[in-house]
Amino acid sequence: MTTINATAAKPAIRALFSREDVHFEHTAYFSYSTLCQVLMMNRFVPESFGAFSYPTYSRVLGMFFRTLAKFAPGTADGVLVTARPTSPIS
């Protein structure tokens, strides 16, 4: 499962300039912990985690945000979690 990261750096920086750039289909943002909570509430066990960054118009800014995300994954544009269903109760 992938989702936009609630703690991403780019939206936080945009907010400083009173700007919001949100895709119309994105109705909620999740962090690692809230995404895991949703999965567990729906009987899934989170197994592995990752982060991803979207391309930027500027190569320099792209390099900056990718480097930031490498050292602080919580600032990446998105998070991904792989999960498996829990065993059915007998």
pLDDT at 28: 84
Confidence of residue 90 (pLDDT cuts 50, 70, 90): low
Going by pLDDT thresholds of 50, 70 and 90, the confidence category of residue 42 is very high
Q: Report d(CA 21, CA 7) in Å as an integer.
A: 15
Q: Residues 25, 65: contact at Cβ < 8 Å?
A: no
Q: Is residue 6 part of a domain?
A: yes
Measured CA to CA, the distance from residue 13 to residue 3 in angstroms comes to 19
Q: What is the mean pLDDT of residues 15-29?
A: 84
Structural domain boundaries, residue 57: 2-85
Number of domains the chain contains: 1
CA–centroid distance for 1 within its chain: 10
Q: Compute the residue count for the chain.
A: 90
Residue with token string 């050292």: 71
Give a yes or no: residue 36 inside a domain. yes
* Confidence check: pLDDT of 88 > 80: no
Q: Which of 41, 55, 44, 62 is nearest to 1 (CA)?
A: 44
Q: Quick one: average pLDDT of 44-50?
A: 94
In a domain, 90, yes or no: no
Q: Could you tell me if residue 49 is inside a domain?
A: yes
pLDDT band at 75, cuts 50/70/90? very high
